[in-house]
Amino acid sequence: MFPTQLMMVRKSKKGTVRSVFLTEEGSDYSSSVINLFSASIGKRIEEIEDSLKALELKSQNPKIVKGLALLMFRMSRIGPPSLLDPITVREVIFSKTRVPPASPGERDEILEAVAKEMNSSVAEIRKAMYADKESEQILLSLPEITPDSLSRRFNSEQIETVMLKAKKIEITSPFNMPRIIRIARRLGLLYRATERDAVEISGPLSVTEGSERYGSSFALFTRQIMRVGEWQAEATVSLRDGKREKEYAYTINSSVSEYSDLPEEENHYGFVQSKEFVKLENGQVIFDYTFNVEGKSVNILVTRPRYYQEDHFTVRSVREQGINAEVFCIIRGNEKCPSGAICFKDSVDWIRAKEFLETKYSRKETNVERGPVKKIEEISEENRKKIFRHLEDLYPDSQAMVDYIEFMGLDASKTLEEAGFKVIWKGLKILVQK
């Protein structure tokens, strides 16, 4: 996406806005920018920027030149003007100049001393002093790109740039809605079905205030849905209208898509990507996967810690309607498993997840959630060991230990004692000690 100053739109009095795209007639812009870059190999960025300013001045629309140049810079290879390490060069220079030289002669003497110390020349030292500064970098090579392809990239970026200012998007798609919703969810966005048989995508704060905070997520969302066939989106975007912000409707559809579909995602050990909504009293939910246990379908959401609380509420609402649902949370690095979550490190361990669901939802164990039903003595030796080992892992988080035991359908006090822990009650709180 471009910086918003490079956004090119036409606003209507009716409150709609549309992007100004580069068409074939405008391909001269792309050719000119590519030519300028081709002629600039070996030049400093600062020099190229000066040439671009001259080109902007000559062109009808300087924003197009700026945008195309930005794309070219992103795709080009640039490098420093000197092989000396600039940080070391500066370190040596400043270590010799406690008091700044008052005359050019004194300055040159210092530079000569630095050059000598670094086995280099004064000219090279001058070049290397700020060789890590972006404007000093040298253009080394260019991408192989046609004017047409550059224009198309420019257009995609224009769409994303408008979406940076979006507050919400209403989207319809006859065949690909589950996939679109999954894209939104993975970007941390929320959704709800609207009356128009569409889905409204927004961010958590959108319910209390119109925040532009999710603009970059909307822009990424747009980039990703361009790969999905047949959809139409109407975004509410907030743009400046004189001194104040005004909301506009921005409509695009899959005809702007110039890319092919993504390959179908694979199935994992019987986990099938959900394609249908689960209807609820207050709307509908699309899950990531469904899994079948003895004829019972279990709906699965896969989430990340920061989205966990919201997904937990969703799953709870679904369960309240008698529908089986689980939420799995992926944790990475040093992230903590959120309170109440079933967590996997880095990615879902499908075999473990399968075992878990089969244990929980098989006919024999259907009531596993309904409170303590089993005694620890009834559990096999091997499973007891596993449970005790996991309790050790959870210690000293007393609440987590108790919850885990209850989740396994066991009596908390007895199991803890059996595992070698002491249980102390403090009011309603349980405290586990060794």
Partner 1 sequence: MQDLIRRESNLPATDYCITMIKLTYSRGTILLEGVEDDHPYFVTYDNRIGAYRSPAFRYAELKNAYPDAIDNVFENKKVEIAHNENLRSYQKMAVEYWSKNDHKGIIVLPTAAGKTHIGIDAIAKLSVSTIIIAPTIELIQQWREKLISVFNVEIGQIGGGEKEIRDITVCTYDSAYLMAEELGNRFQFLLIDEVHHLASERFIEIARLFASPYRMGLTATYERTDMLHEKLQEVMGGKIFELGYEEISEFISNYEIIRIPVDLEPEEEEEYERNRRKFISYLRKHRITMRGPWDFEKFILSSWNPEGREALIAWRKAREIAFNARVKIDTVRYVLSKHMGEKMLIFSEDTSTSYLISKEFLIPCITYLTPGQERKKYLDMFRSGKITALATSRVLDEGIDVPDASIGIILSGSGSTRQFRQRLGRLLRPSQGKHSILYEIVAKGTSEYGTSRRRRKGVPDSVDDGQEE
Is 105 near partner 1 (CB under 8 A)? no
User: In DSSP terms, which residues pair with 141 in a beta bridge?
Assistant: 77
Query: Taking CA 274 as the corner, what is the angle to CA 270 and CA 277, rounded to the nearest 5 degrees?
Result: 150
Using the rule CB under 8 A, give the single segment among 16-24, 29-37, 53-61, 246-254 that binds partner 1. 53-61
Residues 151, 157, 161, 166, CA torsion sign? positive
Is 116 near partner 1 (CB under 8 A)? no
Is 380 near partner 1 (CB under 8 A)? no
Nearer to partner 1, 257 or 403 (CB): 403
Nearer to partner 1, 223 or 390 (CB): 390
Phi, then psi, of 372 in degrees rounded to 5: -70, 115
Is 204 near partner 1 (CB under 8 A)? yes
Q: How many residues bind partner 1 (CB under 8 A)?
A: 84
Give one DSSP letter per residue of 205-258, joined into a string: GGGTS--STTHHHHHHHHHHHTTSSS-EEEEEEEEEETTEEEEEEEEEEGGG--
Nearer to partner 1, 98 or 363 (CB): 98
Question: How many C-beta atoms surround the C-beta of residue 54 within 10 A?
Answer: 11
User: In DSSP terms, which residues pair with 90 in a beta bridge?
Assistant: none
Is 70 near partner 1 (CB under 8 A)? no
Say how far apart CA 292 and CA 354 lie, in whole Å.
10
Is 349 near partner 1 (CB under 8 A)? yes
Q: How far is the CB of 4 from partner 1 (least distance, A)?
A: 12
Query: Cα separations (Å) of 411 from 45, 261, 371, 373, 423?
Result: 70, 52, 8, 7, 12
* Longest pairwise C-alpha distance within the chain: 92
Q: Closest Cα to residue 89, out of 124, 136, 135?
A: 124
- Binding residue (CB under 8 A) for partner 1 from 49, 369, 378, 417: 369
Is 133 near partner 1 (CB under 8 A)? yes
Using the rule CB under 8 A, give the single segment among 37-45, 146-154, 205-213, 254-262 that binds partner 1. 205-213
Q: How far is the CB of 242 from partner 1 (least distance, A)?
A: 9
At 270 the three-state DSSP class reads: coil
Scan residues 306-325 and list those touching partner 1 (CB under 8 A).
306-307, 309-317, 319
Using the rule CB under 8 A, give the single segment among 9-17, 163-171, 392-400, 418-426 that binds partner 1. 392-400
Is 47 near partner 1 (CB under 8 A)? no
**Cβ–Cβ under 8 Å, residues 65 and 55:** yes
Is 385 near partner 1 (CB under 8 A)? no
- Binding residue (CB under 8 A) for partner 1 from 42, 263, 371, 427: 371
Is 213 near partner 1 (CB under 8 A)? yes
Q: How far is the CB of 100 from partner 1 (least distance, A)?
A: 4
Is 111 near partner 1 (CB under 8 A)? yes
- Binding residue (CB under 8 A) for partner 1 from 207, 255, 295, 322: 207
Q: How far is the CB of 244 from partner 1 (least distance, A)?
A: 12
Is 330 near partner 1 (CB under 8 A)? no
**Cβ–Cβ under 8 Å, residues 259 and 227:** yes
- Binding residue (CB under 8 A) for partner 1 from 10, 13, 25, 60: 60
> Per the omega criterion (within 30 degrees of 0), is the bond before 81 cis?
no
Which tokens in the block code for residue 337?
């498993």
